[in-house]
Structure 1
Amino acid sequence: MRSAGGRFDAPAAVMVSAPFAGLASFALLKWVNFGTDPDVNARGGTAELGIWQYLVSINVMIWVLLAGLGLVLLRQLTAEVDDWKPASRGETVRFVVFVLILTAVPLVIGGAAGMKNPYTIEGQNWKIPLLHAVAGVANVPLLVLLKRIHLVAVDDERWSTTARDIARLQLLRRTTRIATAALGGVIALAVVATGALRQATAAAGLTPLPEGFVVVYGASFTAVVAAVYLYVFSALETRGSRFLEAVAALPDPSVERAAAFTAGRSLRTELSQELELNRDPRKDLQSLLAVLSPLIGALLTKLGGL
């Protein structure tokens, strides 16, 4: 797909492919049967299994859309900061790989501990890991975006004390919240799908994983999302604080300088509001919901019976 300028528009192409990705994932789960597992022994639960297949297909479609959103935001950020340093690319790659490893570790540990549902469909031993890989790929544009926001925030050469810098910091904060919400959404949907598979396994007359596993599963991913968010949030807070001290350093209080102190304090208060400084991430409902979305998905799945 090409933009008005005739160039390939990657974000648009990714988003357009979303419904086809959903249909392909459904076909994969429903009809692709090579690699048959020897112990597929479901004794019913066809409807519940169909719900899981439907849910996963919708999840894949949403994952692709969120990946496209990440690419759109990344392009917007690149237009704002178009002089990426070569060293930042390697640092970004290392960050993305590290976070993906953190995300995969709970899955690897769970598999080594025997934490898996009995097989209810053919090829379950490779289809489930493949779906997790798709979710991981969907996270890549969002992780790249968050790392680049961090790189911009910590690079002193990019910042001065102009109104444009205030607008840039506001943009970075908004983008961070959106990207974190999308990242949490991708993982939350994977957690909900895990709960649905557990329900399908139980309906098939097999012994599913304990309910607590889904909660632990969601909590572990919540910790990863929280760590990524705080990593970027702290860099933005530091940048805002430096801007504040450079523009509106608070004068020493004294009787002789009472008027200057009052004026300086007023300026700092107003500037802090513009820079969105000193916002406790635990009390920021939007950020808190984004970070906790995997755990919330796990709890809702448990309470909802999936």
Structure 2
Amino acid sequence: MSEFRNVSSNPHVRSGSTTTNIMLWVIIGLCFPAAFGVFNFGLYALVLILLSIATTVATEFIYEKLMHKPNTIGDLSAVVTGLLLGINLPSTAPFWLPIIGGIFGILVVKMLFGGLGQNFMNPALGARCFLVISFPRLMTDFVTDTYTGATPLAALKAGEEVDVMKMIEGFTGGVIGETSMIAIVIGACVLIMAGVIDLRIPGSYIVSFGLFVIIFGGRGWNPAYLSAQLAGGGLMLGAFFMATDYVTSPITNVGKYIYGIVLGLLTGIFRIFGSGAEGVSYAIIIGNLLVPLIERWTLPRAFGIPKKSRKEVKA
């Protein structure tokens, strides 16, 4: 009986998953929209993606060397950040743009706040928003030899009609990895089947956004318009690959639904009522900042601990 009284330190429930395995599955899932982006926009897009990955990995490695910290590039989180940033760039971006963005995302958003698990927002999205604010013309230049008109979302914003099927297939202008809804969904299915993500956050995000568009979009129940809004921009990419980031999303099931709904409402507000045609990046970053508050109200009470009053919680 003595072996049953042995006491060990927590955690007492362990999983076979590691950070490296999870990041590897995310990389595999992202390869589908990234590969289509290279096919759609050419080899220059591949150069931008590889340059972004090289920058994020090198920045993390150099910072940890200078700060005499353990090397963590083997967990592949820096690769995921670089890949996400790369496919969130226009295919016309100059070489130095992913370098600046990669350094900012890893150094400022991730490492200066303690590294993986301590960052308060998604590093790739933080880098993208930094680039959009700092270099708006370069980050919104989607004119290529193949696509010379406005992006589908910009056309919708102007009241024009768009080809929804081309948007679903991906043969439109936009950033490298956001154009093909099919490629993004295939990559998302890989993550779902691998158990890396579930549908709580992306499902509630997409459904709440769709309802917002139906109610406030000015078109009522218009399947073509709704489909274009869902397939256009970075909605699918953000819902499945960025909103589900373990570090910056809630851990409770109720919190995940609330988080997804908040993202859907914010994206709808930015798209329908904002001056720009897109809003996914800013919606997810604002949602990241609200995660501590969401978790504060949705974390279950431990057995035996009485429920605190609102005054006690605020205190």
Taking structure 2 as the reference length, what is the TM-score of the superposition? 0.31
User: TM-score of the superposition, structure 1-length normalised?
Assistant: 0.32
Higher share of residues assigned helix = 1
